[in-house]
Amino acid sequence: MVEPREFEGPMDSLDRASPDRTTAERSWTDRYWQSADGLKLHYRDYAGRSDRPPVIILHGLTRNARDGAALAERLAGEWRVQVPEMRGRGMSDYASDTATYNPLQYVADLTALLEQEGIARFVAIGTSLGGLMTMLLALTDPERIAAAALVDVGPVVDEAGIARIREYVGQGGSFPTWIHAARALQELHGAVHPDFALEDWLAMAKRVMALGANGRVAYDYDMGIAAPFHADAAPAAADLWPAFEALKGRPLALLRGETSAIISRETAAEMKRRVPELAVVTIPRTGHAPTLAEPESLAAIDALLAQVA
């Protein structure tokens, strides 16, 4: 088992996962569960009503629990919300075997969390990788999912989008200040969020990066998660249409970025054709992936949750 790197410096006096608030002000509890191969994995637990299935926010490939913080805080109280960090991200252990950084393993890890917490049914809000996890879980255990929002992902992932991810995932790098980190994100992802101001990029930097022991700002994930993306190691693409169709019969939404390079309009239309109850919502002037702070995203999630019994 490989432990995550230690963090120190100014963030020691604040919560590592939320540098703008003190530990006493946190609206969640840090909790942990263990994977079958012995990793200690972290999740945020936001208190809420016990008479409803909890909402579980599943982050994207290079993200962590901070990515779902704003949505979690908006829903908490009315809903119990959990935001797990997959292995190799945030406060979860890093894996010694990078081959375990794959969607099937992440689903197995998530299932271990569900078993620990005694969660029979939950609402899944899955961005990109998190959406793939949702579909894969539905293929084997559909009754566990009370409703689902798939955020900029579907059963067909465009190769151009995968190629784009390969360009930056696992590349590492560090920055002397948060402003430098924000500018780097803007340069890399500016076309995804063309309307972001500097403060938006700064907020994103504080979600996806952390302050290291050397005083520099760096991405908050194990660079080894990129290993399965290498062309010589990547398995043949699986047919995920059966996994998507396993979500039939429950409230279901697709939140697609208007300029997404991951899920095409044609794929979204085919998803709607195969599962007519799917609510397809386009997030304007956004690529991969929506942040879930957009008015259209929030309205879609509110509409989804209103259907949950």
CATH numbers and ranges of domains, the chain: 9-170+224-305 (3.40.50.1820)
Show the DSSP H helices in the chain as ranges: 69-75, 103-117, 129-140, 159-168, 178-189, 198-208, 241-245, 265-274, 295-305
> Six-digit token pair at 257?
């970025």
CA dist 221 and 133 (Å) reads 18
- Closest C-alpha to 134, from 116, 148, 122: 148
253, 281 Cβ separation under 8 angstroms: yes
pLDDT tens digits for range 20-52: 455 557 899 999 999 999 999 999 999 999 999
Backbone φ and ψ of 52, nearest 5°: -125, 155
CA-to-CA separations, 93 to 66, 129, 224, 243, 298, in angstroms, rounded: 16, 18, 12, 28, 31
Q: How confident is the model at residue 166 (pLDDT cuts 50, 70, 90)?
A: confident
pLDDT at position 231 is 52
> Six-digit token pair at 88?
């190799």
Q: How confident is the model at residue 15 (pLDDT cuts 50, 70, 90)?
A: very low
- Closest C-alpha to 242, from 131, 135, 111: 135
DSSP string, 108-119: HHHHHHHHHHT-
pLDDT at position 289 is 96
Residue carrying the six token digits 């697709």: 254
Q: How many CA atoms lie within 13 A of 29 on its CB side?
A: 7
CA dist 253 and 291 (Å) reads 15
Q: What is the mean pLDDT of residues 111-122?
A: 98
Residue carrying the six token digits 């899955």: 126
> Six-digit token pair at 192?
């995804």
pLDDT tens digits for range 56-67: 999 999 999 999
